[in-house]
Structure 1
């Protein structure tokens, strides 16, 4: 998605697949609306089912809030807060991240971004979330990962795995991407996936990667739509996806990937997350 300003060494850096012209599109069959389960080759090792009481924040044992409104390296317009107004359980088994049009911290919008940094940082596995996306021009939700070594090596050397990002004005298209040294920002390694007969804001879908040594595969529901390997990197580029990464959920407003907010975009906008689960290969 975008490089979070988590640490001083990251303050001037940008992330993300932000160049629409660089996107490559795959047009598969419409995925089924069911919630698939990974094969028996995977064992559940970490999860958040978001079963908290209505109005309570995400678990501080699992998640940390990013707070600020400096554009996040991508000219984003929101101020991310740690308020329940922007990230809270709904009491029905979901975490809801809410983007609002409101003046706050010298910004015109608020939202939230949460991460598992320092709480949970897996190396390899199937990382998935069941999400209902928001909609509207300029709305930019994402489910992604960043290398836990970002403090020592900076971005993009740490590596970034965008499991899902999406433009609210294009509600039938999802994108998966990798960012690393020599393939970052608009020159990332990634692919878009177009669904037919449905819009991703109209119901829940499962977004996942299966991350293994020298291979990462992207899924929407039961459809694999992209695979990245070291052989697909640009000449001379290095694969940097063999060390721990932490998980991030956020909803941005505006920014280089989605452009300005549309005059007809309705607020508040909500991203509902049913669960986040991580599976590992049994040893």
Structure 2
């Protein structure tokens, strides 16, 4: 197979413990890239930990800005984001509301607020990671909010207005039918994740022209239907067909893991969504970390 594969971990900077887990994977050469959140209170501490560990990395991972509009504190003045945050500056908007706002008259009001925050989060990450060139940005987002039409429009306008360029913006387009080829796995999937897959594929279709005009190379993401439980056994079963699908369609493949676990005692009012909290502290994150180690795909990719 000649498919370009990226073994990626989201949520560096979500908590100190989660970030230490990710750093362990980096030091052992298990990841090709990571996404960094800038709007959690532990951000500076996590950056310090990264710098201390960096000399132990066998290679320099690619770093993406993980735009976070779902949790944490805004970097903007909260008074300027009345539709996105509460009085403490903590995000309180839902994915669903942002999606529906994309088709409402209030769209431009929300977009103006989104642009302020997206710009500051990109600047915050780029400001401490010199590896992240503002002319070669890598961008994705917490819960894939950058795929929502109004958020995507805000992001692309920020890039254009600031004169920044992105070399990589995650297209959260995940092949659907690959998961149906293994009938023995049907009962292992959460139905709600199929809904996420379909909705994000819809958003991806809307964004294809923008991605192409921005020079983005076509890609697939793997990590939606199995989100929260990217385990070794199922990955081994599905990987050949996933690679075949990507190669056939001339797309690269980003395999997304969440190997960093947040400790229950790290949960504060920055974490505002109950469902998300359960995801952050879930022991399934340790399952994903184990899969990253057992599969050792990052090493194999680099040797191709």
Q: TM-score, normalised by structure 1?
A: 0.30
Q: Of Structure 1 and Structure 2, which has the larger fraction of its residues in strand?
A: 1
Richer in helix (by share)? 2
Greater RCO structure (CA 8 Å; 6+ sep): 1
Larger radius of gyration: 2
